[in-house]
Amino acid sequence: AIDPEFERNREAVDENDGVTVWGPVDEPEQLGIHGTHVAVDFDICLGDGACLEDCPVDVFEWVETPGHPESERKAEPANEVQCIDCMLCVDVCPVDAIDVDAG
Protein backbone atom coordinates (compact mmCIF):
# COMPACT_ATOMS: atom_id res chain seq x y z
CA ALA A 1 0.00 0.00 0.00
CA ILE A 2 0.99 3.64 -0.43
CA ASP A 3 3.03 5.09 2.44
CA PRO A 4 0.79 7.73 4.10
CA GLU A 5 3.96 9.40 5.45
CA PHE A 6 5.40 9.85 1.95
CA GLU A 7 5.85 13.60 2.38
CA ARG A 8 8.26 12.90 5.23
CA ASN A 9 9.90 9.81 3.74
CA ARG A 10 10.38 10.95 0.13
CA GLU A 11 11.64 13.96 -1.74
CA ALA A 12 9.76 16.00 -4.33
CA VAL A 13 11.75 15.45 -7.51
CA ASP A 14 9.54 16.73 -10.31
CA GLU A 15 6.26 18.36 -11.26
CA ASN A 16 3.87 17.34 -14.08
CA ASP A 17 1.44 20.15 -14.90
CA GLY A 18 1.24 21.20 -11.27
CA VAL A 19 1.20 17.65 -9.85
CA THR A 20 4.21 17.03 -7.61
CA VAL A 21 6.16 13.80 -8.13
CA TRP A 22 7.76 12.22 -5.05
CA GLY A 23 10.79 10.06 -5.85
CA PRO A 24 12.68 7.95 -6.30
CA VAL A 25 12.00 7.93 -10.03
CA ASP A 26 13.85 5.74 -12.54
CA GLU A 27 11.80 5.60 -15.73
CA PRO A 28 10.20 3.54 -17.04
CA GLU A 29 10.21 1.00 -14.18
CA GLN A 30 9.99 3.34 -11.18
CA LEU A 31 7.63 6.32 -11.33
CA GLY A 32 7.20 7.44 -7.71
CA ILE A 33 4.14 8.93 -6.02
CA HIS A 34 2.14 11.53 -7.97
CA GLY A 35 0.18 14.24 -6.17
CA THR A 36 0.13 15.56 -2.62
CA HIS A 37 -3.41 16.11 -1.32
CA VAL A 38 -4.54 13.23 -3.53
CA ALA A 39 -1.52 10.96 -3.94
CA VAL A 40 -1.24 7.91 -6.21
CA ASP A 41 1.68 5.52 -5.88
CA PHE A 42 2.37 4.85 -9.56
CA ASP A 43 4.55 1.88 -8.65
CA ILE A 44 1.56 0.16 -6.98
CA CYS A 45 -1.26 1.32 -9.32
CA LEU A 46 -2.19 -1.45 -11.74
CA GLY A 47 -4.52 0.62 -13.88
CA ASP A 48 -7.75 -0.71 -12.40
CA GLY A 49 -9.69 2.48 -13.17
CA ALA A 50 -12.18 2.38 -10.28
CA CYS A 51 -10.88 5.73 -9.05
CA LEU A 52 -11.55 7.37 -12.43
CA GLU A 53 -15.05 5.88 -12.59
CA ASP A 54 -16.07 6.72 -9.03
CA CYS A 55 -14.55 10.12 -8.26
CA PRO A 56 -17.52 12.54 -8.23
CA VAL A 57 -15.40 15.52 -9.31
CA ASP A 58 -13.13 13.85 -11.90
CA VAL A 59 -9.82 14.33 -10.13
CA PHE A 60 -8.09 11.55 -12.10
CA GLU A 61 -6.89 11.31 -15.71
CA TRP A 62 -5.20 8.40 -17.46
CA VAL A 63 -1.55 8.78 -18.34
CA GLU A 64 0.34 6.26 -20.45
CA THR A 65 3.27 4.53 -18.72
CA PRO A 66 4.74 2.11 -21.27
CA GLY A 67 7.35 -0.22 -19.80
CA HIS A 68 6.14 -0.06 -16.21
CA PRO A 69 5.99 -3.59 -14.72
CA GLU A 70 2.55 -3.16 -13.03
CA SER A 71 0.58 -1.49 -15.83
CA GLU A 72 0.94 0.69 -18.90
CA ARG A 73 -1.48 3.34 -17.70
CA LYS A 74 -1.86 5.11 -14.37
CA ALA A 75 -4.37 7.40 -12.68
CA GLU A 76 -2.82 10.88 -12.49
CA PRO A 77 -4.52 13.09 -9.83
CA ALA A 78 -4.43 15.95 -12.34
CA ASN A 79 -7.27 17.90 -10.71
CA GLU A 80 -6.40 17.21 -7.07
CA VAL A 81 -7.38 20.77 -6.10
CA GLN A 82 -11.02 19.81 -6.88
CA CYS A 83 -11.04 16.95 -4.32
CA ILE A 84 -13.91 17.06 -1.81
CA ASP A 85 -12.40 14.42 0.51
CA CYS A 86 -15.19 11.87 -0.02
CA MET A 87 -12.59 9.05 0.24
CA LEU A 88 -14.32 6.92 -2.41
CA CYS A 89 -11.14 6.46 -4.43
CA VAL A 90 -9.26 5.28 -1.35
CA ASP A 91 -11.99 2.72 -0.67
CA VAL A 92 -12.32 1.35 -4.21
CA CYS A 93 -8.68 1.02 -5.23
CA PRO A 94 -7.96 -2.73 -5.12
CA VAL A 95 -4.28 -2.28 -4.30
CA ASP A 96 -4.43 0.70 -1.89
CA ALA A 97 -2.41 2.90 -4.20
CA ILE A 98 -4.18 6.13 -3.19
CA ASP A 99 -3.80 8.35 -0.13
CA VAL A 100 -6.07 11.35 0.45
CA ASP A 101 -4.94 13.73 3.17
CA ALA A 102 -8.34 14.77 4.49
CA GLY A 103 -6.64 16.34 7.53
Question: Which does residue 59 touch among ligand F3S, ligand SF4, none (CB within 5 to 8 A, set by kind)?
Answer: ligand SF4
Ranges within 31-70 binding ligand SF4 (CB under 6 A):
38, 54-57, 59
* Burial environment of residue 77 by CB neighbours within 10 A (0 to 12, 13 to 18, 19 or more): buried
Phi-psi region of 18 (alpha: psi -120 to 50; beta: other; left: phi over 0): left
Question: Which does residue 88 touch among ligand F3S, ligand SF4, none (CB within 5 to 8 A, set by kind)?
Answer: ligand SF4
- Which CB sits closer to ligand SF4, 27 or 53? 53
